[in-house]
Amino acid sequence: MPHNRSKEEFHDFVRKLEQQALETAEERHPIYIKAGLKDARLVLDVGCGSGVVTKDVAMHTNGYVIALDDSPDMLEVAKQVLHGMDVEIVVGDAHMLPFADNTFDIAICNLFLMWVKDPQKVVNEMARVIKHGGKVVATLEPDFGAKIHWPPYPKVDEIFAGKAIRNRGGDPYIGRKLRMLFVRAGLETEVGIGNKRIWSCEEDKASYIRARDFYWKVLRREGLSEEEIKDWEEKHLKSIEEGIEFNFFPQFYAIGIKP
Ligand SMILES: C[S@@+](CC[C@H](N)C(=O)[O-])C[C@H]1O[C@@H](n2cnc3c(N)ncnc32)[C@H](O)[C@@H]1O
Question: Which of 66, 112, 114, 137 has most ligand 1 atoms within 8 Å of CB, for mutation?
Answer: 112
CA R_g for the chain: 19
Question: Which of 20, 115, 116, 165 has most ligand 1 atoms within 8 Å of CB, for mutation?
Answer: 115
Which pLDDT value is given to residue 189? 98
Ligand 1 centre and the CA of 239: distance in Å?
34
Q: Which of 92, 121, 126, 120 is nearest to 106 (CA)?
A: 126
Ligand 1 centre and the CA of 136: distance in Å?
16
Which pLDDT value is given to residue 180? 98
Which pLDDT value is given to residue 171? 97
Which pLDDT value is given to residue 3? 57
Cα angle 213, 24, 110 (rounded to 5 degrees) comes to 95
pTM: 0.93
**Contact (CB, 8 A) for 155 and 224:** yes
Ligand 1 centre and the CA of 238: distance in Å?
35
Question: Which of 19, 71, 195 has most ligand 1 atoms within 8 Å of CB, for mutation?
Answer: 71
Domain boundaries, the chain: 7-257
Q: How far is CA 221 from the centre of its chain?
A: 22
Which pLDDT value is given to residue 5? 73
Q: Which protein residue's CA is at the shortest distance from atom 8 of ligand 1?
A: 110
d(CA 228, CA 217): 13
Question: Which residues does 15 contact at the CB level (< 8 Å), separation at least 6?
Answer: 214
Q: Which of 249, 250, 166, 141 is nearest to 204 (CA)?
A: 249
Ligand 1 centre and the CA of 251: distance in Å?
17
Question: Which of 69, 90, 120 has most ligand 1 atoms within 8 Å of CB, for mutation?
Answer: 69
d(CA 176, CA 192): 10
3-state secondary structure the chain: CCCCCCHHHHHHHHHHHHHHHHHHHHHHHHHHHHCCHHHCCEEEEECCCCCHHHHHHHHCCCCEEEEEECCHHHHHHHHHHCCCCCEEEEECCHHHCCCCCCCEEEEEECCCHHHCCCHHHHHHHHHHHEEEEEEEEEEEEECHHHCEEECCCHHHHHHHHHHHHHHCCCCCCCHHHHHHHHHHCCCEEEEEEEECCECCHHHHHHHHHHCHHHHHHHHHHCCCCHHHHHHHHHHHHHHHHHCCCEEECCEEEEEEECC
Ligand 1 centre and the CA of 48: distance in Å?
6
Ligand 1 centre and the CA of 49: distance in Å?
5
Confidence band (pLDDT; 50, 70, 90) for 249?
confident
d(CA 1, CA 168): 6
**Contact (CB, 8 A) for 48 and 67:** yes
Mean pLDDT for the stretch of residues 69-77: 97
d(CA 105, CA 47): 17
Confidence band (pLDDT; 50, 70, 90) for 195?
confident
- CATH code for residues 7-257: 3.40.50.150
Q: What is the pLDDT of residues 56-65, one digit of tens each?
A: 999 999 999 9
pLDDT beyond 90 at 196 = no
Ligand 1 centre and the CA of 112: distance in Å?
5
Q: Which protein residue's CA is at the shortest distance from atom 25 of ligand 1?
A: 71
Instruction: Determine whether the shortest distance from the Cβ of 17 to ligand 1 is under 6 A.
Output: yes
Which pLDDT value is given to residue 4? 64
Q: How far is CA 73 from the centre of its chain?
A: 18
Q: How far is CA 79 from the centre of its chain?
A: 19
